[in-house]
Amino acid sequence: MTAITYSPRRPRFRRPSTHRSARAVAVALLLTVTACGEPGDRTRLDGTVHIGGKIDQPGFALHSEHTDRGFEVDLAAYLGEQIGFKSKFHDVVSAKRERTLIEGESELVIATYSITPERDETVDFVGPYFVTRQGFLVAEDYQGIKGTKDVAGKSLCTVEGSTSENVALPPKTTLHMETDYSTCVRKVQQGDVDAVFTDEALLYGYVEQHKNSKAPLKVVPDVSYGSFNRYGIGLQEGWQGDCKKLRNALRTYLTEEWARDVKAQLPALVDAYPGTWENRFRPDPQDLNKYSSCEE
Amino acid sequence: MGDTDPLGETDPRRPAGWFRRAAARIRSALGGDRAQRSSAWLRRAASRIRDALTDDRLLVLLLLADLVTVLGASAIWLALGGDATTVGVTAGALLAFAAAMLPLIRRSDADGNRPLWPPFVLVVIPLAVLIVGLPALGAWAYLDSRAVDVKHRVTLAPEGPLKNGDRVNARVRADEPRPRLSITFAVTEHDPAAPVCVPSSELTVTLDAGSGKPQEQTGAADTGFTFDLGQGLTDVRLTIRLRAEQGCELDLSVASAQLDD
């Protein structure tokens, strides 16, 4: 909110007519600003809500045959039901997620969007709704990476603007940057790179997608670099009311719907960690207060 | 004032001209009427004390009061950390001054008039000690009860980003020892572009006491830790151990540190 400072009692110059006009303008501006209300009182979450998402991430958000499907699509639908909006996804690449919110092109970003302090400077987050380590996706018959030491000297692919871009990898490792993961996956299948390096949960979507293809894939078990990523819902700064609505709805979602949606959309992940997948990937609902940007 | 001087009321052997001139200048500087009124008030007070001191027992009591006040104030001053030499010299000078009044109090002039000011001095000494000492004691008590900010006296080693399990040694040097240390650390992401780590991190802080059992406390990154230091500890040493998730790199600094009671 813009603060207007006005001091009508002690004008520096005695120009009565001008002074009166200035006072009137200032009062009008003050009334206008007051009439707008606090940002927290207003909402952008009604009617159709434009959500910046991914279109090429199987398991999380995949646009195919005029249909969006995936865990994040289910999550958006649940939030829409709870809060009262209709979600409409549109594609946003990783590097432009902040910009689409700041410029108002999207009301929300739900796009495997990791909460980081740097991003939190420019946008608000509600989350996490998913926790994941960062791992390696390789061809199913690839044996080059069996432990963390084997990563040194390998050729890896990740997406620009992702947190994996900044992870300190072993010496002589080559990191190829692409604009989307589908390109990275294709490069692995073609043998152009050894592995795709990004969030493990995301990689299991590609395992599922390609399990019946000529070039099936696998996630290297128990090999991880970098820190845990926590996916949050991005929204423009200053919409505290919307932030709290989303946080409350997400809290219910984590306890009531999360497991069912993961089973439906990410079966390869569930199969990879039988009995422990919920503990590994589901955030504690109490963490919503720690990681969300909503002010109390 | 006639031929009076500061110690004897009418002593013709002492040159009184310089005193009269000085008194006149002071009166002039202060405003003649006001100075005259003050002077008259002091003379009346001194007269009352002189008249009351006809009994030797009262004189003894007054000397005793001087002694108790001066020695008591000196003992408190010394106990609060005053320099022994300064305290001793001050107390000795005051007591010697009081003792020097005794022969003057006993002396009378040719008309049998006893001196006006020496008995008054015996009352002024304890009053002056109390007037100066009590506010000083109050000010000291106030300053002593305030928490001492030692944030900038905390040194952390080694510096640099910390990972899970890393330890940092903190040292707090205190000029004014207090029995309790309250310290809060600030933990921040070393790389703001990396996934957020601070909310899931914990610190375990151990007070490495010289004697006795080490005190250990664990809490989230922004937790305030409070340790009992005992008496007189001026070199406080802490060990901070970080628990963080895999891959996290965090910076540690001191958000606040206070010594208090």
Q: Are residues B163 and B189 in the same domain?
A: yes
- The minimum CA-CA distance between A260 and chain B, rounded to whole Å, is 26
List the structure tokens of A276.
């422990």
Strands in A229-236's sheet, in edge-to-edge order, are A85-91, A47-53, A108-109, A229-236, A123-132
pLDDT of residue A206: 94
Last residue of a domain, one of B102, B122, B145: B145
3-state helix, strand, coil in chain B (%, to 5): 45, 25, 30
List the structure tokens of B144.
């002593």
Contact of A229 with chain B, judged by CB distance below 8 Å, is answered with yes
The set of residues, in sequence order, having a beta carbon less than 8 Å from that of A104 and lying 6+ positions away, is A236
Q: Are residues B187 and B123 in the same domain?
A: no
Q: Is the pLDDT of residue B19 over 80?
A: no
Q: Is the pLDDT of residue A31 over 50?
A: no
Last residue of a domain, one of B123, B145, B167: B145
Lowest mean pLDDT among A50-59, B93-102, B182-191: B93-102
More confident residue, A288 or B144: A288
Q: Give the B-side interface with A, CB within 8 Å.
A: 188-189, 191-200, 245-248
| Beta-strand runs (E) in chain B | 148-149, 154-157, 167-173, 180-189, 202-207, 215-220, 224-228, 235-243, 250-260
Q: Is the pLDDT of residue B56 over 90?
A: no
What residues of B are in contact with residue A115 (Cβ under 8 Å)?
195-196
- Tens of pLDDT, residue by residue over B111-133, are 777 778 888 888 888 888 889 88
Dihedral angle sign, alpha carbons of residues B7, B10, B11, B12: positive
Q: Is the pLDDT of residue A63 over 50?
A: yes
If pLDDT is split at 50, 70 and 90, which confidence band does A4 have?
very low
If pLDDT is split at 50, 70 and 90, which confidence band does B210 have?
low
What residues of A are in contact with residue B200 (Cβ under 8 Å)?
228, 290
What residues of A are in contact with residue B188 (Cβ under 8 Å)?
117
Domain tally for chain B?
2
| Number of other CB atoms surrounding residue B79 within 10 Å | 9
Q: Is B88 inside any structural domain? A: yes
Q: Is the pLDDT of residue B248 over 70?
A: yes
More confident residue, A43 or A15: A43
By percentage, how much of chain B surpasses pLDDT 70?
86
Contact A291 B196 (CB under 8 A): yes
Q: Is B246 inside any structural domain? A: yes
Q: Are residues B70 and B86 in the same domain?
A: yes
Q: How many CB pairs under 8 A join A and B?
A: 54
Q: Are residues B22 and B96 in the same domain?
A: yes
Q: Are residues B177 and B139 in the same domain?
A: no
Q: Are residues B135 and B157 in the same domain?
A: no
Q: Are residues B124 and B29 in the same domain?
A: yes
Which residues constitute the domain of residue B185? 148-260
Q: Is B1 inside any structural domain? A: no
The set of residues, in sequence order, having a beta carbon less than 8 Å from that of B51 and lying 6+ positions away, is none
Q: Are residues B36 and B92 in the same domain?
A: yes
The pLDDT mean for chain A works out to 85
What residues of B are in contact with residue A117 (Cβ under 8 Å)?
188-189, 192, 196, 198
DSSP-based three-state secondary structure for B83:
coil
Across B49-62, average pLDDT: 79
Q: Are residues B42 and B112 in the same domain?
A: yes
Spatial contact of B225 and B217, defined as CB atoms under 8 Å apart: yes
pTM of the predicted model as reported, rounded to 2 decimal places: 0.69
First to last CA, chain B: 56
CATH number at residue B177: 2.60.120
pLDDT of residue B65: 87
pLDDT of residue A55: 87
Q: Is B8 inside any structural domain? A: no
pLDDT of residue B252: 95
pLDDT of residue B17: 65
What residues of B are in contact with residue A228 (Cβ under 8 Å)?
195, 200, 245-247
Q: Are residues B131 and B163 in the same domain?
A: no
Contact of A164 with chain B, judged by CB distance below 8 Å, is answered with no
Q: Is the pLDDT of residue A33 over 50?
A: no
Q: Are residues B153 and B249 in the same domain?
A: yes
Q: Is B2 inside any structural domain? A: no
Last residue of a domain, one of B81, B114, B145: B145
| Number of other CB atoms surrounding residue A51 within 10 Å | 28
Across A249-267, average pLDDT: 96
Q: Is B11 inside any structural domain? A: no
Q: Are residues B132 and B201 in the same domain?
A: no
Q: Is B122 inside any structural domain? A: yes
Contact of A216 with chain B, judged by CB distance below 8 Å, is answered with no
- Tens of pLDDT, residue by residue over A211-250, are 999 999 999 998 999 889 999 999 999 899 999 999 999 9
More confident residue, A84 or A12: A84
Say which of B189, B199, B247 has its CB closest to residue A226: B247
Q: Which residue of B has its CA nearest to A128?
A: B196
If pLDDT is split at 50, 70 and 90, which confidence band does A41 have?
low
Q: Is B3 inside any structural domain? A: no
Q: Which residue of B has its CA nearest to A227?
A: B247
pLDDT of residue A184: 94
Q: Is the pLDDT of residue A80 over 50?
A: yes
Spatial contact of B161 and B224, defined as CB atoms under 8 Å apart: no
The set of residues, in sequence order, having a beta carbon less than 8 Å from that of A71 and lying 6+ positions away, is A59, A60, A61, A130, A261, A262, A265, A266
